Amino acid sequence: MNRFFSLNNPSDWQRGIWYNLHVSNEGIALNKSPEYVIDYVHQAGTTHHSRLLDFAMARVGSLLWLDESGHITHYDDGNNFKETVFRAGRGLFSKDSFLVADDEYVYILDPEARRKVGAYSIANGQCVWSWEEGEEQRLFPLDAGLDEEGRLYITTPVLVDQDNERKEIAAGTQVVVLRLNRAGKVDATYAHEELRVKETATLREIRRRRLFRLSVAEAGKAYLFWAQTNQVFRFSSEGADVCTLAIPSGTKPAGFAVGPGPILYVGDRRSIDSAHDHTRFILRFQPTGEALAPLTNYHGRADKLVFDNQQRLYVWDAQKNVLTMMRLVSRTSNLDATGIPMGIYFSRALDSTEYETVWHKFTLEADIPEETQLLISTFSSDRKEHVIDGAVRNLDDVLLAPDMDWRTKLQRTANLWSEPVINASDALFHSAKGRYLWLKIEWLGTDRHSPLLRQMRIYSPRDTFLRYLPATYQSEPASANFLERFLSLFGTFYLELEEQIDTISRLFDPDTTPGEFVPWLASWLGMGRDEHWTEAQRRELIRRAPELYAERGTRAGLEKMVQLYTGERPMIVEYFQIRDMKAIPELHELISSLYMDHPYQFCLIVSQECATTEREQSVLQKILEDQTPAFTEAKLIVLRPGIYADLHSYVGINSYLTEPSFLTLDQNLSIPYNTVLSGKDRSRRIDYDTRIGLDAELE
C-alpha cells in the first residue's frame, strides 16, 4: 500500500528553507519585484502646438496640459480624445500657473495672480470655488497635491513682502503645508521648525528653482521635499518627522513623487550632453532616507514626476518638451549577485519510519512556462548524520542552518545529491533507498516568468503492478527494473482515476468545484445562465438555491435575486402603494406614467450604478422575467442622478439638497440663487450643453 508525503500548503513548505522564493497559498515560485518600464514617449503639446508648462493627471490615462499660450487641454491618448478645456485670454491664470487634478476637478494655482487657487469642473469648466488675494489667510502656492479623498494640500510661505514688486521671501520665513477640504476651506496646517527659507529670494525664483516639491501618498500623508537641503518632511495627522536623502553630489533634484511602497522618487534636472545621458537616472529612497537602486529604465532629465491611480509614472522633461509614461511590471528577481533568476529549496528529512525503505516516485502539480525549468534532486539514507566538510554532522542542521548561505550548502553537499529530474510531473526515484529522504528543488526562470510549484507528493515504499505478475518476470534484475518502470505508467493512470472517483463529490460543492465547472453546476439548477454573471455570483446562486427557489415569485425572492446581482437592495413599488395618489385627478396621469396603470403591474427601481450598461440592464430584465408571476407585469426603472421635475427624483437616493450657493462665471460675475435658467429644447435643465443666448436664456 502506497503512502505519500504531501507538500501543498505554506506550512508544509515552511518546514524547509528557501532562497529567492516566495511561498503563498497558490504554491512556491521565484520572488518577483515590481519594476517600471517605458510604455510610450510623447512629444508634449496641445492642439496649438505650444510648449508644455505643466501637466496633471485627471481620469485614468487622461492628462490635462497647460501650454505657454495659456490654453489648458484635456488629452486622453487611449481614446484618441483631445479637447481644450480653457482657452487663453480669460484672465483666470498666467504662465506662472501650475496644475493638480482628480477625476472631477482641475485645480489651477498661480502665486502671482489675484486668484491664487481655483477649482474647476473638468466636465464643463465651471468654477466650484476659488481663493482670492486679500482673503483673511494669505496664500502663495509653491506646489500642491491631492489625496484620495480629494483634499488639496498646498505648500506656501507664511509671509511674502508684497510691498516689493519682486515679491521677496525673507530668509528665515517659515514654509507650511495647508490642507483644504472639498469646499476650499483650510482644515489642517502642517509645519516643522526646520522648514524655513535659507536665503532671501523672490517667489518666482523659488518656483523656478523647484526648491519645494510636494507629493501626497496613501492615508493622507504629505511628503515635502526641500531640494536645497535634500530633506523630506513627512506630515500626517499623527505628527511630523524629517529625514535627509543620500542624493549623490552633482545631482540637481527636480521632480519628486511618492510611489507604491511607499518609495520616494527624485528626478535630476542638471544639464548634460546626450552622450552621457545614460548616467542620469531617477533616484529612489526609502521613507527613512536610505538609498535604493535607481530606476535605470529611464535616462534623462525629470522635471516633474506624477503617479496616477493605476501606479503608472509620468516623467516630464521640460528641456526636450517630452512626456514619458512608465508602467509597473513584475520581474523575477535574481538570486543574490548571480544575475540569474533562480531559486533553491532544501527540505527537512522526510521520515518513512522504516529502514531500507525503497522510495517509489514523486508527482508534481506545477505551471512551468516555456524557457523555465524545475529541477528535482534527492538524497536518501538510513541515518541523518553524514561526513560533511570533514566532520560528522546532522544533514538537517546543515541544510536548514540560517547563518549559512546557499552557496556553502551546495558546495558541502554536492556529492550527496542525485542527478536532477527536469520538468517532470511524474517520475520514479532511482536508487533512492533509506529511511530518510531529502529534496533539493531548483527554479530557473526568465525575466518575466517563473515555474509555480503548486503541490508535490512523494510516495513510498515502491509499489508497482510488477508484484501482480508471476515471479518469472522479476527473476532478472535488469529486465525487472525496466518492466517495473514501464508498468508504473499504467499505475499512474490508475491512481489518477482512483483519485478522481474518490474526490468527485467536490465537483458538486459550490465552494470547492473548479471555476470551469461552476456554469455547468448552475445549469443543473437553471440559474445564472447569462454569461454576464460572474463566477462569485454563480457560486452564491448555487449556495442559496434552496432559499431562492422557496421564495421565487415573491417580493422577497425578487429583492434577493437583484441584490445578489447588483450588490444593492432594490426598491419595489406595488399598486397598493400608489393607489391613493392615483385617485387624485391632478396626479392620475403623472403617477400612471411614472409607475403603473393597473393592479397587476409593479416597478423595480435600481440606482444608475447597478445598471451602467445595456448588458447589465438586460440581465436585470431577464431576472424580472424569471422571477415575476405569470399574471403580473414588471417595469424596470434605472434612476439617473439629479433632480428632474415630473421624473424619478428621490432625496437621499439619486438627488440631494444643499444650501443655496452662488454660481460663479468668472472672478467678477456670479449668478445668485434666485436666478432661473430656462432652456427651450433642453426641458428647462442646466447642464454642460446649456448655451446662454442660443438654447437658454436668463429670466
Q: Do 622 and 586 reside in the same domain of the chain? A: yes
Asked if residue 86 belongs to a domain, the reply is yes
Asked if residue 421 belongs to a domain, the reply is yes
What are the pLDDT digits (tens) for 87-131? Answer: 765 666 677 788 998 888 889 998 888 888 989 888 777 888 888
pLDDT category, 440, cuts 50, 70, 90? very high
pLDDT category, 59, cuts 50, 70, 90? low
Angle (deg, nearest 10), helices 585-594 and 575-582: 150
Give the contacts of 164 (CB within 8 A, at least 6 positions apart). Answer: none
Q: Do 130 and 215 reside in the same domain of the chain? A: yes
Average pLDDT over residues 220-248: 89
What are the pLDDT digits (tens) for 556-587? Answer: 999 999 998 888 899 999 989 888 888 888 88
Average pLDDT over residues 646-651: 64
The SS3 call for residue 204 is helix
pLDDT of 467 reads 74
pLDDT of 199 reads 87
pLDDT of 384 reads 94
Q: Do 240 and 352 reside in the same domain of the chain? A: no
Torsion 129-96-140-242 (CA) sign: positive
Cβ proximity of 371 and 446 under 8 Å: yes
pLDDT at 609 over 90: no
Cis? peptide before 141, omega within 30° of 0: no
Give the chain's end-to-end CA distance (angstroms, integer): 94
Q: Which domain holds residue 683?
A: 659-698
pLDDT of 90 reads 60
Give the contacts of 630 (CB within 8 A, at least 6 positions apart). Answer: none
Q: Do 654 and 666 reside in the same domain of the chain? A: no
pLDDT of 91 reads 60
Q: Do 107 and 198 reside in the same domain of the chain? A: yes
What are the pLDDT digits (tens) for 267-321? Answer: 988 776 655 556 678 999 999 889 888 888 888 889 899 988 888 899 998 888 8
Torsion 206-212-215-220 (CA) sign: negative
Lowest mean pLDDT of 71-85, 213-227, 347-361, 529-543, name the range. 71-85
Average pLDDT over residues 126-145: 83
Q: Do 207 and 137 reside in the same domain of the chain? A: yes
Q: Which has the higher per-residue pLDDT, 3 or 215?
A: 215
pLDDT category, 647, cuts 50, 70, 90? low
Exposure class string for 204-239: b at 16+ Cβ within 10 A, else e:
eebbeebbbbbbbbeebbbbbbbbeebbbbbbeeee
Torsion 528-532-537-539 (CA) sign: positive
What are the pLDDT digits (tens) for 461-481? Answer: 877 777 778 877 777 777 777
Could you say which of 448, 463, 478 is where a domain stops?
A: 463
Average pLDDT over residues 320-345: 88
pLDDT at 548 over 80: yes
pLDDT of 318 reads 86
Asked if residue 485 belongs to a domain, the reply is no
pLDDT at 526 over 90: no
pLDDT at 46 over 70: no
Number of domains composing the chain: 4
Q: Nearest to residue 455, comparing CAs of 15, 3, 10, 31?
A: 10
**Percent of the chain scoring above 90 in pLDDT:** 30
pLDDT of 456 reads 95
Asked if residue 513 belongs to a domain, the reply is no
Kind plus residue range of the DSSP H or E element containing 617 = helix 614-627
pLDDT category, 405, cuts 50, 70, 90? very high
Q: Which has the higher per-residue pLDDT, 205 or 673?
A: 205
pLDDT of 698 reads 56
pLDDT mean across residues, the chain:
83
pLDDT of 498 reads 81
The per-residue DSSP string of 576-602 comes to HHHHHHHTSHHHHHHHHHHT-SSTTEE
Lowest mean pLDDT of 101-110, 120-129, 336-345, 380-389, name the range. 120-129
pLDDT at 48 over 60: no
pLDDT category, 34, cuts 50, 70, 90? confident
Instruction: State the residue for C-alpha cell 456670479.
Output: 670
Could you say which of 417, 439, 463 is where a domain stops?
A: 463
pLDDT of 688 reads 46
Asked if residue 601 belongs to a domain, the reply is yes
Average pLDDT over residues 440-459: 94
Q: Do 643 and 688 reside in the same domain of the chain? A: no
Asked if residue 535 belongs to a domain, the reply is no
pLDDT of 695 reads 47
Phi, psi angle pair for 503, to nearest 5°: -110, 15
Give the contacts of 491 (CB within 8 A, at least 6 positions apart). Answer: 463, 464, 465
pLDDT at 489 over 80: no
Asked if residue 212 belongs to a domain, the reply is yes
Q: Do 596 and 645 reside in the same domain of the chain? A: yes
pLDDT of 516 reads 87
pLDDT of 684 reads 46
Cβ proximity of 256 and 305 under 8 Å: yes
pLDDT at 681 over 50: no
Could you say which of 332, 367, 386 is where a domain stops?
A: 332
Q: Do 444 and 314 reside in the same domain of the chain? A: no
pLDDT at 17 over 90: yes
Q: Do 576 and 638 reside in the same domain of the chain? A: yes
Alpha carbon distance 437, 462 (integer Å)? 14
What are the pLDDT digits (tens) for 347-365? Answer: 999 999 999 998 988 999 9
Cβ proximity of 667 and 130 under 8 Å: yes
Asked if residue 468 belongs to a domain, the reply is no
pLDDT of 72 reads 83
Q: Do 293 and 430 reside in the same domain of the chain? A: no
For residue 568, the one-letter residue type is E
Instruction: State the residue for C-alpha cell 427624483.
Output: 649
Q: Do 235 and 357 reside in the same domain of the chain? A: no
Alpha carbon distance 542, 564 (integer Å)? 12
pLDDT of 680 reads 44
The count of other CB atoms within 10 Å of the CB of residue 602 is 21
